[in-house]
Structure 1
Amino acid sequence: MIIETSAGRIRLAANLKWMYTELPFEQRFDAAAASGFTGVEFASPYDLPAERIRRLLDQAGLEQALINTPAGPKGSPTAMGAAYVPGASEEFRAGVRSALEYATTLGAPVVHVMAGLRPQDVDPELAFATYVANIGWAAAQARGSGVRVVLEAINKRDQPTYGLRTMETAAAVAEAVDAATVGVLFDVYHAQVDRGNVIERFESLLPWIGHIQIADNPGRGEPGTGEIAYDRVLARIAASDYSGWIGCEYGPVAGTEEGLAWTERITA
């Protein structure tokens, strides 16, 4: 969905994990296209063969904006990713390989490499060193493929033990490893919950930002249901050099279609 604002153009991608949940997953592609979306994202494509998802995208006339690396089994140390977990390097590398294979088939330009939870019985410096080394390995695999790796920090209220603690740390890791291949996933919801100053932080992190996601706070609903000044935030994004997708990673408060009225309120 392309939105023209007074400040410029933005591209919105429907997150099919969060939106159109009243429909079976495979029907959400056509529903998103019918709403005017031209791109979609979702964390985990791995329950379906990549070729099947590719057909669903093509039939609906959609682009795949982003996928995540695989998560481990629920309740396991790698349930939210393996990059931060010492001793899980084989699982991590297998997941990165799988993600890059899917991304290539789907034409996804961005793969979010999930950090995972900080192990409570491991030295924090060892865990962070493991993370940086793993991201370096992932960058080497992605380099030259046309896929950019992005790193996301989750706010400490929702996930107090998530490994990657701040977007600024994500930018520092990207810079240290390979900023051309590794970037930051700038999630406006997490940024606002973490410590606010959303526009200021967006501007300072812009050189490293490889993908953006949005949701309001509190409630993680669509823009306009919380306290974030999305008219200003999206206007600043539109006026910037960022030209990638903005993923709508929110849970519609009153239904997906009804919730899309927010897109009309921000148009010029």
Structure 2
Amino acid sequence: MIQRRDFVKSTLGLAGATLAGNSLAGNESSPPQTMAKNQFKLLYAPHFGMFTNSAGKDLIDQLKFMADNGFKALEDNGMMGRPVEEQEKIAKEMARLGMKMGVFVVDKGGNGANTLAAGKKEYIDIFLNGCKKAVEVAKRVNAKFMTVVPGDFQRDLPIGIQTGNVIDALRRGAEILEPHGLTMVLEPLSDTPNLFLRTSDQTYEICRGVNSPACKILFDVYHMQKNEGHIIPHINWCWSEIGYFQIGDNPGRKEPTTGEINYKNVFKHCYEKAKANNQEFIWGMEHGNAFPGKEGEMALIKAYVESDSFAV
């Protein structure tokens, strides 16, 4: 799922050194106070590999670099495929740093080979088994959200029947996740027109049909800009069913400020709306770097400093 303008100076000193400390609500542990170079208003979540030129290849060193630069969350689509020892090591360091865990992808959580739209028992069983495994991984890494993509269209069935099949399967998945306080977030995508789940309003309809706190929308702004546009109105219409956001500018699927999306306005709108409703969302940085090397990584951080600099 992963694939700026001119940048002036390194961004690392822009915000000054201020205390990050215990700024994350809901952390059970009490992480030590650290000197973060940037104080972001939102919970932006980088992924492993985004800062390897600056932090090296070691995952723990990458986590430290993220936290040192003000990022308070992490997402890792491939977490389920990591060895248990590595999962535990990551979780321990994140707790120490006061970072929250974002999404990981449910293994075989619905794809072209076993689409939930088909309503076939063997496909549903694969999905439900993935949900059961996801519970154990989520406990291990202190995660609350996991990504599910229902799969491709089953083109020999009417669309209403496909929608009903997807709702039925997701209800059964929600029954597994809900007792543990976990939420699968459904991601409408733009990667191929063969995908069943394409728009936010379609995903809203399905979430309302599942009718469980364990089934919400993953609103990926990049994909939704491609498929439907009109980003802020769609966010407002779907707000009650959104559980998680992801970021990527369009075209190019790189950091904010590299494309056409006014992320500063999107971030400001969602920050104010969430604050008014006593909510907090993780924003997964599911995009590539527009420029290579350390300079590109510094430019990426600068882009987030710029986009997060809205007045409140």
TM-score, normalised on structure 1?
0.86
Structure 1: state its 5+ residue gaps.
none
SS in 2 for 1:186: strand
Q: Which residue of 2 aligns with 1:14?
A: 46
Question: Which residues in structure 2 correspond to 1:53-68 (within 5 Å)?
Answer: 53-60=87-94, 61=97, 62-68=99-105
**For the structure 1 residues 200 and 210, does the alpha-carbon distance in structure 2 shift closer, same or farther, using more than 3 Å as the test?**
same
Structure 2: state its 5+ residue gaps.
1-19, 24-37
Q: Does 2:71 align with 1:37?
A: yes
**Equivalent in 122, 134, 137 of residue 102 of structure 1:** 137
Q: Percent identity?
A: 24
Query: Residues 222-267 of structure 1: CA distance to partner in whole angstroms, max 9, x if unpaired?
Result: 0000000111111001101241211111101013332110122132
Q: Which residue of 2 aligns with 1:112?
A: 147
Q: In 2, are the aligned partners of 1:96 and 1:113 still within 8 Å (CA)?
A: no
* Deviation for aligned residue 1:50: 3.6
**Equivalent in 199, 219, 222 of residue 189 of structure 1:** 222
Q: Which residue of 2 aligns with 1:230?
A: 263
Which of structure 1's runs of 4+ aligned residues deviate more than 6 A? 1-5
Q: Does 2:182 align with 1:147?
A: yes
Mapped partners of 1:72, 1:230: distance in 2: 30
Mapped partners of 1:71, 1:166: distance in 2: 21
Q: In 2, are the aligned partners of 1:139 and 1:178 still within 8 Å (CA)?
A: no
Q: Does 2:108 align with 1:77?
A: no
Mapped partners of 1:170, 1:44: distance in 2: 23
Q: Does 2:240 align with 1:203?
A: no
Mapped partners of 2:80, 2:58: distance in 1: 13
TM-score, normalised on structure 2?
0.74
Q: Which residue of 2 aligns with 1:261?
A: 302
Tell me which structure has the larger Cα radius of gyration: 2
Question: Which residues in structure 2 correspond to 1:239-250 (within 5 Å)?
Answer: 239-241=272-274, 242-250=279-287
